Structure 1
Amino acid sequence: MTQRERDIDVLARTIWGEARGEGRAGQIAVGWCIRNRVEMDLHNDGKPDWWGEGYEGVCKAPWQFSCWNLNDPNSAYLRGEKQIPSGQFMQCREAALAVIDGQEPDPTGAATHYYATTMKKPPAWVKGATRTRKIGRHIFFKDVP
């Protein structure tokens, strides 16, 4: 598998785990949030960032995208131990391609973080962050301290 195919696959799996019920707009938004992390150099120092490098590093960084956490019920699907329904995966793969290839503009306002509105309370990191958009059941932020 080429690096490009690996990037598409990992991003599609992450979109499936985080936003499969959101429709295309929500899936594109989650994909762009990840792409924004991939492209950002946090301290403009050229050094690896705490949230990972590249699509695989960013998506699989510990405790960043909960669908990859071993205790998350989605992780078995993402690791290939269980089969993701092909129709759902194809939709997420199309969203991943659109994000990686820049076929869709960033709808998040340059967000690097989000949380699901289904959470009982917002995560602590929202304090001091700039809210950019609400898309589907996700609220997006940038400038997270």
Structure 2
Amino acid sequence: MSAAPALTANEAAAELLARVLYAEAGSCPVRGIEALAGLAMNRARLVLEDAAAQARFANGEAPASLPRALIAVLRAPFQFPTRHPRHKRHALFAAPPEEDTALAVCRRVAQRALAGALPDASRGALLWHGALCLPGWAVGRIPCAELGGLIFYRPA
């Protein structure tokens, strides 16, 4: 029995982003999914340029390419809650149901984001939360976008 071929960094980044999008926003309208993808790409681009962003969004990693920066951002602790094994929707990240059309949407959005073909619906955001909660860090901040049940902020 032969092993499956290894994924390229671009393929791995697209699949990881799709799974995060699915677990975090798969039940949201497409604009919310696109905005969350835009936020992830904003963080990845910033990580390529800035050491402080590497520490904040990529667990100190200094990746050499955009796909690797995106992987670092998506794998960093505390950036996307559903990545944590104890999160109530972690199973959607770890083993998404292949037949779900929302997963197919998330995969298309992820591929478009990595290809640079997705406008940034988050409007430059680096921070976000669901609309049903208000974390302490968001008190007093003005959102730059509210889409699909998600609220987005630029850094202060």
TM-score by length of 2: 0.79
Matches within 5 A, 1:93-132: 93-119=107-133, 122-127=134-139, 129-132=141-144
Per-residue deviation at 1:100?
Answer: 1.3
Which residue of structure 1 aligns with residue 145 of structure 2?
A: 133
Q: How many residue pairs align between the two structures?
A: 141
Contact kept, 8 Å, 2:10 with 2:114, in 1: the verdict is no
Letter in 1 for 2:136: A
Cα distance in 2 between the residues matched to 1:34 and 1:102: 13
Question: Cα deviations across residues 101-139 of structure 1 (Å, max 9, x unaligned)?
Answer: 1212111110011111112xx112224655211112111
Cα distance in 2 between the residues matched to 1:79 and 1:114: 22
Larger radius of gyration: 2
1:23 aligns with 2:29: yes
Letter in 2 for 1:37: R
Taking only aligned residues, the RMSD between alpha carbons, in angstroms, comes to 2.3
Contact kept, 8 Å, 1:129 with 1:143, in 2: the verdict is no
- Go from structure 1 to structure 2 and tell me whether the alpha carbon gap of 1:45 and 1:51 turns closer, same or farther (over 3 Å shift): closer
Contact kept, 8 Å, 2:17 with 2:74, in 1: the verdict is yes
Which residue of structure 2 aligns with residue 69 of structure 1?
A: 84
Question: Cα deviations across residues 31-63 of structure 1 (Å, max 9, x unaligned)?
Answer: 000110001149834883321152222112212
Letter in 1 for 2:82: C
More helix by share: 2
Stretches of 4+ moved more than 4 A in 1? 127-130
Letter in 2 for 1:138: L
- Go from structure 1 to structure 2 and tell me whether the alpha carbon gap of 1:129 and 1:43 turns closer, same or farther (over 3 Å shift): farther
> Does the residue aligned with 1:83 lie in a helix, a strand or coil?
coil
Per-residue deviation at 1:69?
Answer: 0.9
TM-score by length of 1: 0.85
Question: Cα deviations across residues 69-124 of structure 1 (Å, max 9, x unaligned)?
Answer: 111132233223x63544221110001111111212111110011111112xx112
- Go from structure 1 to structure 2 and tell me whether the alpha carbon gap of 1:126 and 1:38 turns closer, same or farther (over 3 Å shift): same
Letter in 2 for 1:76: A
Contact kept, 8 Å, 2:26 with 2:106, in 1: the verdict is yes
